[in-house]
Chain A
Amino acid sequence: MTQPTFEEAQRELESIVERLERGDAGIDELTELWERGEELYRICAAKLEGVRGKIEELAQSSDTPAGPG
């Protein structure tokens, strides 16, 4: 399985929680859901912690003089 995006992982985690709270998860699934939930939590947390985004400057296509501003 490819690594989900933060948003996908968050959504899946929250839907697992909802299922557990609704009480319609089969008993055989409980462990599975728990483990998947924990994994999703770790994925989300890793994406939030210590990750610095990149700030890049787009190379200028033309020699545009800067205006004040």
Chain B
Amino acid sequence: MKVEATEIEGRKVYSVRAFNGGLASYLSRLPTLWIEGEITELRRQDRWASVFFTLKDPEDGACLAVQMPRGQFDALQLGLGDGERVHVFGRPELYEQRGELRLKALTIERYGAGAHLAALERLKGKLAAEGLFDESRKRPLPRYPRLIGLVTGKDAAAKGDILTHIVQRFPPANILVAETAVQGPRAVASICAAIGDLCRRGADVIVLARGGGSLEDLLPFSDERVVRAVAECAVPIVSAVGHEQDTPLCDLAADVRASTPTAAARVVVPDLAELRERLERSRDNLHRGAHRAADRYAQRLATARDRLSRAPLLALERKRARIDTVYARLGALSPVATLDRGYAIVRSGEEVVRSPGQVASGDPLSVRVAEGTFGAIAE
């Protein structure tokens, strides 16, 4: 591109446009090269043609704006987030309209873990060693919360989502919302204060909600102070921060982790329709149970009455049976039956004769047979 200058009072003067054009064409002759730095302020939107981020020198914080066509960035499928260390292959370019220098990236390669990630890993290890993430610390949520505390960003989509889902599922829910900064320098203190405030105001369960964001956006939720505030919260706390793939450290310290606002609503309130059904079932069972119990008593009573009416006859029959038995035994013992079979009882005087020695020849004897008695003389 040819850069035209105007002569004004003996001076060569360039228009801004001409100057920028000239600079751009000069820069375009520089070689394409690799630059190492940390990704920050990554901005990517589906409707944008390009992805923007700032490449930061981890040593002294020097910055360089980087732009990359979104299609190429997406095709890399690196899932890059803020704080990651990368090598960028590109060349400097001037955005002529604004005279801003930036690196036009042709490709990006991940290089090691970013400083933030390493720090996060260290903190995670330290808190885990303290037992902050232990399963044994997890408390059950109240089944019917009196007051739900919601910590969320102002006008955040996450807030609306969670409120809608809770109220849809359980209209009687009482909710106290604490709006906080969820990113930026004041976020950490603001979130910690909100958790404390909600506890003091009588919340018996707290939901910490934050929509998805870059790793850097979610950093406050991995801050040691916030993680400790969550772990030490006086009442059970549900973490609904970020998306499924994000795991800010507060997720690990919370009693329950919910990956979406819907999931958060599901764990924090019961379903009204289910409750109603269960209540109606209880009432049906109450009626059926009472009827059955009454029937059982009536049945028992009828049986008792029946037995009562038959009792005297039974008693009489039992008595008769007993007499019959005794009579039979008596009969068996009586000599009458023996005499019937042809035996005789011989007496000499009053004595029953059991041996021939008891009688002498000519003694008068009395002989008893079944049907009578007659006299005899011994030989």
Contact = CB atoms under 8 A, between A and B. Distances in A.
Interface of A: 5-7, 10, 13-14, 16-17, 19-21, 23, 25, 27, 30, 33-34, 37-38, 41, 44-45, 47-48, 51-58, 60-62, 64-69
Nearest to B152: A69
Contacts of B276: 45, 48
Contact of A5 (B144, B152, B163, B282): B144
Given A52-B171, A67-B187, A58 B143 contact: no
Contacts of B152: 69
Given A13-B286, A47-B172, A53-B173, A64 B143 contact: no
Given A6-B144, A62-B193, A66-B153, A53 B174 contact: yes
Contacts of A54: 174-175
Interface of B: 143-144, 152-156, 158, 163, 167, 170-184, 186-187, 190, 193-194, 197-198, 201, 210-211, 213, 217, 272, 275-276, 278-279, 282-283, 285-287, 289-290, 292-294, 296-297
Contact of B290 (A33, A53, A60, A66): A33
Contacts of B201: 58
A47 B144 CA distance: 12
A48 B184 contact: no
A67 B187 CA distance: 8
Which of A19, A30, A41, A67 has most chain B Cβ within 10 Å? A67
Nearest to B284: A17
A34 B290 CA distance: 7
B99 to A, nearest CB: 29
A51 B172 contact: yes
A23 B177 contact: no
A58 B190 CA distance: 13
Contacts of A65: 181, 184, 186
* 8 closest residue pairs by CB, A with B: A20-B289, A66-B154, A69-B153, A37-B286, A69-B182, A53-B173, A67-B183, A58-B178
Given A5-B144, A13-B282, A21-B289, A60 B153 contact: no
B293 A48 contact: no
A31 B194 CA distance: 51
A20 B174 CA distance: 35
Contact of B286 (A16, A47, A48, A62): A16
Contact of B282 (A6, A17, A47): A17
Contacts of A68: 153, 156, 183
A50 to B, nearest CB: 9
Nearest to A69: B153
Contact of B171 (A14, A20, A23, A53): A53
Contacts of B174: 53-55
Contacts of A56: 175-177
Contacts of B190: 62, 64
A66 B181 contact: yes
B144 A45 contact: no
A46 to B, nearest CB: 11
A25 B156 contact: no
Given A30-B293, A58-B201, A67-B187, 9 more contacts: A6-B144, A13-B283, A13-B286, A20-B289, A30-B297, A48-B272, A48-B275, A48-B276, A65-B181
Contacts of B275: 48
Contacts of B297: 27, 30
Contact of A57 (B143, B179, B272, B294): B179
A43 to B, nearest CB: 10
A23 B177 CA distance: 48
A31 B297 CA distance: 13
Contact of B186 (A44, A48, A64): A64
Which of B173, B179, B293 has most chain A Cβ within 10 Å? B293
B182 A53 contact: no
A58 B198 contact: yes
A10 B275 CA distance: 10
